[in-house]
Structure 1
Amino acid sequence: MDSGATEVEELARAAAAGDAAALETLLTAVRPDVLRMCARFLPNRDDAEDACQDTLLALTRSIGRFEGRSSFRTWLHRLTANRARSTYQRLRGRFLAESGGAPLPDRPDPRRTSVVAGTRLDLLDALEGLRPDLAEAVVLRDLLDLSYRDIAGLTAVPEGTVKSRIHQARSELRQHLGR
């Protein structure tokens, strides 16, 4: 583990124990990584910023529950994935409400959305159709690059179950995205 990662782990333990100064330093240290992770989910920079702020607020509220069973970075990845997905769901709900319940277009408008952004939107829509345990496993593995071992520790299921969930999720995503 490099010195930066060790420092973040130490800050997280101190913040979890109630050290307000450590929490402030921790938030500053992890913000760039959180924003980068949010941008993997949300194609619009402002939306990624909103998700980042939501994640940092959630981190502030829940750091006392960080028990150190997994690394802080792994715990943060899970928190970020959940908050980014929640932001997407909120934005999608707002769009549906503002459009009077009009369905989302089948494909993003290529004149207004980059290919990468359109692909991410398609993926987020497809993830909404998965069981939550499948979506969480595939997001942690394929979007946030966590190891099977880290995901197993984070979700408290055996590594074989993680692999099975990821396989099933990928299969369902392929079907959804292939249509």
Structure 2
Amino acid sequence: MTTEGLTPDETDELARRARDGDRDALEALLSAVRPRTLNVCRGVLPHSSDAEDACQEALLNVATKIGQWGGRGRFTTWLHVVAVNSARTTYRRLKNQAVATDTPQLERPDPRTTSVIAGTRLDLLEAMETIERDHPQFVEPLLLRDVYGMSYEEIAQHVGAPLGTVKAQIHHGRKLVRPLLRGTP
């Protein structure tokens, strides 16, 4: 059973009905997946209010873009990616706002001595932002695998790439991220 007592097949069926224009199904779907969406956002953003904002953005994206879910894979896989992207967008927005306020820059936490809750996830987001500039193909598979624990097969299906390609992208992405997490260029 998934969140709110729906099986994966029931969730997919509700999503199909919502995608086909059933407003009641859409409302039921959004209610059913909200806890899962919030948990994904909390996995990226350590502050509850920021995670709530990202969750709301993700649910709005689900409501307005559900037609983009092709129905080939599980709805929850598509939802997961929407939630991750919303959390990353929220992070970027917050980061830009912080820079715009011209506050003094705080020293970056050292991931070797900082707890996961206190800041390592933010270091990971910074690392992802850095590698995304030159290697965008590595970011999504790496986040989905190493942060959210999705299987290689689910990731391959979602991104529409062969399994071997996805594994190689994750391997190369890890090689690029490691030095950034250690605080070295």
TM-score under structure 1 length normalisation: 0.90
Structure 2 Cα separation of the partners of residues 115 and 158 of structure 1:
32
Pairing partner for 1:64 from 63, 67, 72: 67
State the partner residue of 1:139: 143
The residue correspondences of 1:54-133 to structure 2 (distance < 5 A) are 54-99=57-102, 103=105, 105-107=107-109, 115-130=116-131, 131-133=135-137
Letter in 2 for 1:132: P
* Identity of matched residues, %: 47
Work out whether residues 18 and 64 of structure 1, in 8 Å CA contact, stay in contact via their aligned partners in 2: no
Q: 1:156 offset after TM fit, Å?
A: 1.0
Deviations 1:131-154 (A, max 9, x none): 222111111111122111111111
Report how many aligned residue pairs link the two structures.
174
Structure 2 Cα separation of the partners of residues 171 and 75 of structure 1:
26
Structure 1 Cα separation of the partners of residues 146 and 115 of structure 2:
21
Q: 1:37 offset after TM fit, Å?
A: 0.5
Work out whether residues 8 and 74 of structure 2, in 8 Å CA contact, stay in contact via their aligned partners in 1: no
Structure 2 Cα separation of the partners of residues 105 and 51 of structure 1:
25
TM-score under structure 2 length normalisation: 0.88
State the partner residue of 1:14: 17
Q: 1:39 offset after TM fit, Å?
A: 0.3
Determine helix, strand or coil for the equivalent of 1:70. Answer: coil
Work out whether residues 42 and 117 of structure 1, in 8 Å CA contact, stay in contact via their aligned partners in 2: no
State the partner residue of 1:39: 42
Structure 2 Cα separation of the partners of residues 168 and 107 of structure 1:
25
**Structure 1: gaps (5+ residues):** none
